[in-house]
């Protein structure tokens, strides 16, 4: 049976997800076949001459932007109406067990949500059967994860992802709760960005109390709240008013100014930016802040156009990278469409000097 790559994405961004897969295939030196990309929040692509080692290296060298979670396997496989556990164990045995986890997944669509109730009922039965069959390596996170993506209760894609390159969460979706005290839902976007771009150990070292941050376009204060909650001293820049507890937080200084024009008097540890503006203008802003040493690290959003969204992200990536390369600076730059993003992607840039 031919190898397939399955990638979860946001519904409506299947074309951009397909572009991610083509870029990975080129880097891995494999041939990939992607047909039509219906609006179903995942892509299933056939791959010829698949080489696992080269594929893993390609993911590390060219991290996907719009694909939330990737796995490699086979499918789609039909399932019987009654005993589904037995054929699923057969599929699992063909995928080089043991596994560190079994993830039952669905498409992130309204149709997928109707299948999730079926998966919740099936999960404990399959987990117990897989454990009894010796297919699970309990406690060994280095082993691959087993993905079972149900496009319906009677059809499944099966595959695995490596711990080093796969998503930390089923379907690439972290389970985050909206903080009650946060003044806006945008707060959860920055929380997810910290989870995705910073490792567990990094978060403790790079988000320490007493560090200094600037939030450009801060109102109503969702991102400022996330920073202040971690003990950072935040300059919140926006002509509009802040809302909620951040207005009186002693760690927050509200500066009524244009976020695109504001510059700090001395360098800060972090700059964050969620301004609604053309992506290229935000990219130029990020390039200026980082290349001039105004901040060491930044997390920012690019609001994407309706067309050529993938090309626009790559253009902004090149704009920032070229500016930093001209300054002969070492840096890390990544982009990702996070689960809590909408028509946008989140970027992370850090000076390495």
Residue 353's alpha-carbon distances to 111, 295, 296, 310, 328, in angstroms, are: 48, 12, 9, 30, 10
Indicate whether 182 belongs to any domain.
no
| 33, 303, 307, 336: the active-site residue | 303
Are 218 and 127 in the same domain?
no
Are 168 and 191 in the same domain?
no
Are 291 and 343 in the same domain?
yes
Catalytic site includes residue 303: yes
For the stretch 123-144, pLDDT in tens is 999 999 999 999 999 888 899 9
For the stretch 141-195, pLDDT in tens is 899 999 999 999 999 999 999 999 999 999 999 999 999 899 999 999 999 999 9
Are 142 and 192 in the same domain?
no
User: Is residue 353 over pLDDT 90?
Assistant: no
**Rounded CA gap, 236 and 239, in Å?**
10
pLDDT tier for residue 327 given thresholds of 50, 70 and 90: confident
Scanning 62-217, the segments in alpha helix (DSSP H) are 85-93, 110-132, 187-197, 200-206
* Element at 288 (helix H, strand E): helix 279-291
Domain range for 61 is 3-172
- Span 233-260, mean pLDDT? 97
Percent with pLDDT over 70 in the chain = 100
Identify the domain boundary among 172, 204, 224.
172
Whether this prediction's pTM lies above 0.85 is answered by yes
Residue 1 has a pLDDT of 60
Are 168 and 192 in the same domain?
no
As given in the structure block, the two tokens for residue 221 are 């204060």
Residues 8, 302, 172, CA angle at the centre, nearest 5°?
20
CATH of the domain at 20: 3.30.2130.30
As given in the structure block, the two tokens for residue 77 are 């496989």
User: Is residue 320 over pLDDT 90?
Assistant: yes
For the stretch 202-219, pLDDT in tens is 999 999 999 999 999 999
Sign of the four-CA dihedral 46, 49, 53, 55: negative
Indicate whether 115 belongs to any domain.
yes
């Amino acid at each position: 049976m031919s190898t397939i790559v399955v990638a979860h994405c946001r519904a409506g961004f299947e074309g951009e997800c397909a572009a991610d897969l083509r870029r990975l295939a080129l880097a891995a030196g494999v041939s990939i076949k992607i047909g039509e990309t219906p609006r179903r929040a995942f892509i299933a692509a056939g791959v010829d001459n698949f080489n696992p080692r080269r594929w893993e290296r390609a993911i590390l060298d060219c991290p996907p932007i719009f694909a939330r979670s990737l796995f490699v396997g086979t499918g789609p496989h039909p399932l019987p109406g009654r005993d589904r556990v037995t054929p699923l164990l057969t599929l699992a045995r063909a995928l080089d067990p043991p596994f560190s986890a079994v993830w039952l997944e669905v498409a992130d669509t309204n149709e997928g949500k109707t299948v999730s109730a079926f998966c919740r009922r099936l999960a404990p039965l399959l987990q117990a059967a897989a454990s009894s069959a010796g297919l699970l390596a309990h406690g060994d996170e280095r082993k691959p994860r087993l993905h079972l993506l149900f496009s319906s209760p009677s059809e499944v894609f099966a595959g695995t992802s490596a711990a080093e390159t796969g998503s930390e969460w089923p379907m690439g979706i972290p389970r985050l709760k909206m903080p009650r005290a946060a003044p806006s839902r945008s707060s959860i976007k920055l929380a997810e960005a910290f989870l995705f771009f910073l490792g567990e150990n990094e978060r403790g070292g790079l988000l320490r109390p007493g560090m200094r941050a600037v939030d450009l376009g801060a109102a109503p204060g969702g991102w400022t709240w996330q920073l202040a909650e971690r003990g950072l001293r935040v300059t919140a820049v926006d002509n509009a008013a802040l809302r909620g507890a951040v207005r009186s937080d002693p760690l927050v200084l509200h500066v009524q100014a244009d976020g695109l024009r504001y510059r700090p008097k001395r360098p800060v540890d972090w700059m964050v930016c969620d301004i609604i503006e053309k992506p290229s203008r935000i990219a130029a802003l990020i390039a200026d802040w980082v290349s001039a040493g105004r901040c060491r690290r930044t997390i920012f959003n690019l609001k994407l156009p309706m067309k050529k969204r993938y090309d626009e992200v790559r253009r902004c990536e090149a704009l920032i990278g070229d500016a930093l390369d001209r300054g002969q600076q070492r840096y890390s730059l990544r982009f990702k469409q996070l689960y809590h993003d909408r028509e946008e992607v989140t970027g992370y840039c850090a000076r390495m000097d």
